[in-house]
């Protein structure tokens, strides 16, 4: 199933939502380089996103799945949690992962960081 981001028609748009964020900022004198400044050398995230859909978790780890991720403000190091369901109340799979890449083409979840759990 294709992703329907913030630029899709309002009747089908389903972008991830930032539920906690602002990213990571280093304190003055800190040398870790944590920042949400796009010009920062490490440009690491730190925001928490929520995404619920009928997309399979194998779909959401596809390269640049969140095609409007950069526009939404996703950054490498951001965490994404959510649910994938086939219908309300049945075949629900929860997931948790991290964004590893963001480009003008979209944002990508790491397949190595994705943790899932299925409840029926």
pLDDT in tens, 22-48: 655 444 554 444 444 544 445 567 789
Annotate 58-98 with three-state secondary structure.
HHHCCCCCECCHHHHCCCCCCEEEEEEEEECCEEEEEEEEE
pLDDT (0 to 100) of residue 66: 93
pLDDT in tens, 41-80: 455 677 899 999 888 888 899 999 999 998 898 888 899 9
* pLDDT-based confidence at residue 119 (cuts at 50, 70, 90): low
Is the model's pLDDT at 89 over the cut of 80?
no
Task: State the virtual CA torsion across 33, 34, 35, 36 in degrees, nearest 10.
Answer: 130
pLDDT (0 to 100) of residue 65: 93
Rounded Cα–Cα distance for residues 119 and 44 (Å): 33
Q: Note the pTM of the prediction, 2 decimals.
A: 0.76
Query: What share of the chain in percent tops pLDDT 70?
Result: 74
Mean pLDDT calculated for residue range 8-27:
73
């Amino acid at each position: 199933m294709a992703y329907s981001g913030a630029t899709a028609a309002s009747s089908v748009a389903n972008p991830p939502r930032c539920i906690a964020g602002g990213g990571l900022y280093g304190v003055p004198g800190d040398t870790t380089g944590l920042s949400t400044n796009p010009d920062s050398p490490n440009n690491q995230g730190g925001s928490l996103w929520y995404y619920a859909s009928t997309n399979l978790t194998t779909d959401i780890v596809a390269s640049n799945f969140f095609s409007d991720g950069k526009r939404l403000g996703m950054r490498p190091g951001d965490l994404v949690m959510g649910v994938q369901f086939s219908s309300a109340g049945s075949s629900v799979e929860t997931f948790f992962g991290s964004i590893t890449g963001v480009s003008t083409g979209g944002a990508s979840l790491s397949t190595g960081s994705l943790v899932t759990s299925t409840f029926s």
